[in-house]
Structure 1
Amino acid sequence: MSAQPARDSSGERHMVAMYSVLSATNEALLYAKTPTELFQRVCDAAVDGHQFLTAAVTTPDADTAWLRVEAASGIAASQLRESRISVDETTAEGRGLVGEAYRGIKPAISNQFMQDPRTAPWHAQAGRAGVASGAAIPIVRGGKAYGVMLFYAREIDAFGDSIVALLERMARNIVFALDNFEREAERQHAEAALRRSEDKFRNILESLDDAYYEVDLKGHPIYLNSAYARMLGYDHHHVAERDYRSRQTPEMTQVVFKAFNEVFRTGQSKRSQLWEYIHRDGSTIQVEGSVLLVKDEDGKPVGFRGILRDVTERRRMDQALRESEARFRAMTNLSSDWYWETDPETRFTRLESRETGLRESRNPLIGRAIWESTMQAHLPGGWDDFRALLADRQSFRDIVMQRMAPNKSPYYISMSGEPMFDSSGAYIGYRGISREITEQKVAEEHIHHMARHDSLTGLPNRLLFSSLLNAALKTAARYKRTFAVMFIDLDRFKFINDTLGHEAGDTLLKEITARFKQAVRASDVLARLGGDEFVVLVQEVPDREHAAAVARKLLSAAIKPIELMGQECRVTASIGISLFPGDGQDEQALMKNADSAMYHAKEEGKNNFQFYSSEISSQTLERLTLESNLRRALERQEFSLAYQAKVDLKSGRITGVEALLRWHNAELGAVSPATFIPVAEETGLIVHIGRWVMKTACLQNVAWQKQGLPPINMAVNLSVRQFADEHLLADVTAILAETGMNPALLELEITEGMIVHNVDRAIKLLTAIKQLGVRLAIDDFGTGYSSLGQLKNFPIDTLKVDRSFIRDLATDSEDKAITSAIIAMGKTLSLTVVAEGVETAEQQTFLREQACDEMQGYYFSKPVAPDEFAALLGKEKAT
């Protein structure tokens, strides 16, 4: 059924009513607060004016094609809310007036509702409500249907063109209202967002530990957060009433004003400004602040804002740190130590000492690890061990490092360090100190060298030789090699050392060392064990002849003449050889057997070499037994003295006696002086033994006198070592005092070799002894280096002609001539001349004819015990 035009008579009436509805709708627009309220007011206005039976506003469901009744009013309002209305054209419900208006975005009118096929789905409901006409007016927003207004009237042809136009105007007014609602909602949302933003901003400012301020151009506070008040010690209300000038000194106010003024003029913000504020308690606090210019919407400056931070404690700590650094630098300037730090990769980041300020360039170690230098760590594994130590984050102390650069002087440092960790416990590197210890290490090495080398010759000593020998033993055993150990002892060295002095002895040892070095290979080891004893380790000896060849070279080197103290001297050597592995497979056996062979060489006449053999071992054992017993002979009281008379050749009477040492041992029996005296000399025991001999002889002389025997001269022999002993004069003085012996009755016998080499010392010592009243005699004269002319320089009383010249006087004309000359020269010097070793009448007759003063020998008396000599002297007294 098509819409029919409205009648003219009713049209005017409807127009009047519609204007009334429109007016009520406009009023609803003013008072409605929400779209739902607006829709309901519009519906109510349309029905309250009695223009329409029912009015409704529908909107599509966002998830379906069905329409939802947002508001309804009138007699069919409840039925309408229950009706199914769609915008889907394929359904009967969607082909109605609402669906058509929604899809077409234009009014859909049915002025004969009950006959219109479009409204068929709702005829039953409409008939009961008395609906005769209907109109669907789309609510259009943005060119699209927002919803549909639905109106029902009881009259046919109720919706003419004028009425529809007014309804469309009503729809437009609703759209205007909806737009206002939306704008208001947006405004409220923006205001709410602004309030939330401002609240958030204020909360953030209030949560800051740093002070925040906003001031106007005159410095009056606009906003100050709580931290600002706390910083100055005020409550928030009180601090906000005062500007910054009231909390600063006048001088600081000028500084701050200058900063703000510069920001105002330039528009450039300032940061890290250092100012001072006055705390509420009167103290001064240090503040670090920023200044930012605030402008309005037109770009006009209206104030300032910024952040202030109390840096008093930090500044105090900075000052303390600077002072600490100053103290640290002062300490490093006073100390020779270096302070260093590294990064986690162990590269140096800091190296400081008193030299740091003197450097013109950066230390070359900065940025490098210590092992990238020329230093070497004194650790078993070198730098690998050191890096492992660092990787384990271990502390270390006094690790020695040495510069290993060619043509550079020795340089050592001692390094100590510990790992560093930050506040979270993360490793950040190492720090520590190092110091130069070159002088100490050089001294230690020198001491170490001295401990292992002979100080006089520079040769390895016994300790170092022992180490080298043991190393050679291991190598030889591993590779099945043979080597030789040679013990060398210089013959007559003690005689030269004691007679010419230690300086001459040292010179001789240095010269012999140089010669021996030339005689052996560079691979061989020459060492000095002490005194005149040397030892040679001859590497890789293929056979005995090779060892013998080396020994012969050493003997040849030793025997060459050498000038000492202006005199030409010669020494020889005795060499003992042991071979590995035949003569021993350890250090002790090889050294002992080489020593035994050396003593055998001496017994064989010296100046030769001997290989070790089992026979030599037994001889060495005998010597060791002899030496061992000799060392205990004094305490065991095994020594005794025998006395041999000296006889005046003219009268035949006893004028003196010589004390001769004898030794009887329970194990060895009677030991010949020719056997034990050399051993006593070599070991130094002769000094103690000689002191005992002198004291015992003096006591015996005094004892004889106490027996009523006539006082006679007592002769006592001095050994080379006794004469060289610095305590000799004191010993003689003490013995004379202890025994009560008349010094004039004591005669000390010395050999010519003791006095000719160190003439000055000999003259001083003999003169001092002479001043005690003691007589002095030259024993064994004619066998040494002196001449009769030299004797006038010494305070000598007696000259004893050596028995070697007396022995063959009867048959040897040369011995006669020499003896005659000695006697004649002795008489010329007013010396008492004594001939030793007289055993025949012929010898006695010759000596008497040559005007010799005294004789001594078996012809008159052998050496006898004290009682026998007393009887001999007493018998002579009786006659």
Structure 2
Amino acid sequence: MKQRRQNAEVEELVRERTHELEETSAALELDVAARERSEKLLHESEHRFRSLTELSADWYWEQDENLRFTFLSSTVYERSGCSAAHTIGKTRWEIPDTVPLSSAWPEHRATLAARQAFRDFEYRRVGEDGALRFISVSGLPLVENGKFSGYRGIGRDITEQKLALDKVRESQENLAAAQRIAHLGSWELDLGDLRDLDRNPLRWSDETFRIFGYQPREIDVSNENFFNAVHPDDKARIREEVARAVNDGTSYSIEHRIIRPDGCERIIQELSGIVYDAISGKPVKMVGTVQDVTERKRSEERLAYLAWFDSLTGLPNRHRLHDDLTQMLAQPQQSAGRIGCMIAKLDHFKDVNSIYGRRAGDQLLVEAAERLRRNARDSDTVGRLGDDEFVILLSKLATADDAGLVARKIIDALAAPFNLGGLEIHISANIGIAIYPGDGDDPEGLLKNADAAMHRAKEQGRNTFRFYLPRMNELALERLQLHARLRGALERKEFVLHYQPKVDLTTGIISGLEALLRWQHPERGRMAPAEFVPILEETGLIAPVGEWVLQTVCEQIKAWQARGITVRPVAVNLSAQQFHQADFDAHVRVLITQSGVDCRLIELEITESMLMHDPAEAASMLNRLRRIGVKVSIDDFGTGYSSLAYLKRFPLDALKIDRTFVRDLTVDSDDAEIAVAIISLAHNLKLKVVAEGVETEAQLNFLRSHGCDEMQGYYFARPLSVEDCTRTLIENRRLDFPKSRIALRSARIFRADAEHIDGPTSAAKRIELADVELEWLRRCSAHVCAAPTAVVAALERAGFAILDDVGRLNVTNTGRDYISSHDSQIRKRRRKRN
């Protein structure tokens, strides 16, 4: 019984253990199945990830715990230029030609040593295919059973993005450099709060900081700081413009003044516009540029002043006098009364200018101008025509004799001695008078007739005045005969072209030609344009003649090219009638196309008056000519009335300084100043400058030293016939510049009294002629020497040869000036002792 009970207990125990084993076995089976499902899901997930990676621009990689590559996507070579065979088993830094984009290896390796994730680590690599690529990689650490087992991540070729960013960066650097060069800054103002713009963020470029007198980011940028720099008188105007632009959604352009931290006042120009959100259409910011235009404005103001006033004396110049006289003539005669036009020319001025230098000559002109002002009536206008000629416009004359009284008063005033730095100088004046009505109906006629009367006064005794007397009708008859002859001159082939070279003042080579019209008159011979072009314009023949000139120039260019001659651009002068033809550009296009000439070899010269006749239409015509490809320049610049505001809008290539300013620029401060101003203005407008009428080395040196680009004139060549011009081009003739400016060390000026001279020059006080131009020295073949007898005797004892000729200058100071040269000669201009 006991045995049976024990067996039952054993069986029960076996059944319990068996049941437990069965339950354990079932649990194990479930756990294995779950694990298998998890592994399957993981495998499927990895497969999907790798498939997606294969399809993307990225590649997949794995590294072991030693950071050596164990796996790479199959597309890695195609996308990175580096195959798995050359990568598996190596760390990233062991792969040849792999360089980080910054000094980042130590930092990156520290991240790896800390088993941390990393993103967008960038490096460059030269692939096995030889191509340079930029690579970006990101990775996550792998941890199994709490143990680091390596990294897994993706790589990406970012070469295109890098190159694009480099181009953007280069563009930004170029833009910043261009802004520095042009003194052009930029700014942005956020428009988040339109109710209070002063609180909105404002940003400046580096150049904007400099324009306002700061180093980049030296101050916090804000509207408050901006308006603190604005001139108090300009603040309200700027706020109005900004508010209008924001409210109306328009741009604005404004010039205003700022005061820099150092107290310097500058003029700046602002241009701005509104930027809108592409989706909402709301304004998001205002952007603009700021440019320091102070120098340009000063240049414009100076040139504008010089256009109307004489820079030396401050008197109205020729153009202002013409304008004033036009207004006087436009008044009703009963209220204006008689009008007198008086021209006064100083005698002996050129002698003073030559002997004592331009400074003394300028001083004489200034003092003479002041005497003219004091002795003219309050209602009269005193101006300077140029050189030593002045104009007095007399209004409301009761009789012509009143003009004579003013003329006599002026002559007497100018006859009084002038004190020029201790020298007592005597001059005289000749005056011509023309009266309206009777002696001319317009400013040109009155000035011309007054000039004729002045020359009669000069011929008939000097130091006097003469009224204009009508001349005979010979000139009018001769003019009528020219009228008749010109009508058939084109058909009879009496017109010919001559060509005057233009020379580059840097290289000395011929840079172009100007075609000049000549008329081969059967009786009078070759005539210059001034003698017949006005008649062509009056008769309407100028248009067909001008077309013939352009056609002949094209044919000549082709003829030269056929001979293998290198042709430079040829300039053709246009008449106002040609330029104002509505279809003139079409005529030019047809002529150039038919001839087959390169349009860049044609240059058209126009005058300021053509542009200002109708500025809008002129701009349209110039743009149409520019599209054809021809060049356009302004001829005789400085003699017209062009507006600087319009000038900078016209599509031009060059300005030509009129010969009237070139002629005396080495001896006339006014002409020199105008020439320099024109050169400066033209270069500011990015235009080439050509000087006409260059005849002397001094003129050439002056123009070169002040940056003139080209010259044209007798110094290099007169207008040449076709044959002579062809020979010149074949010979490739060029201008040889003087090797160096001749220093005036060979001439000295001494001031000495008799008691101080008893040896060669031992006690003489020496003063260099530092301000004397070479042109002055050349003209002074004889120099002034008015020394006491004792001084002359002492000089003769010292070995100097003395020439005691009679001149026209009276010098009365006790200390006498004389000039000695290395050849120990003293010469004097003829002078007249009183």
- Place the TM-score, normalised by the shorter chain, in its bin: 0.3 to 0.5
TM-score (norm 1): 0.33
TM-score (norm 2): 0.34
Larger radius of gyration: 1
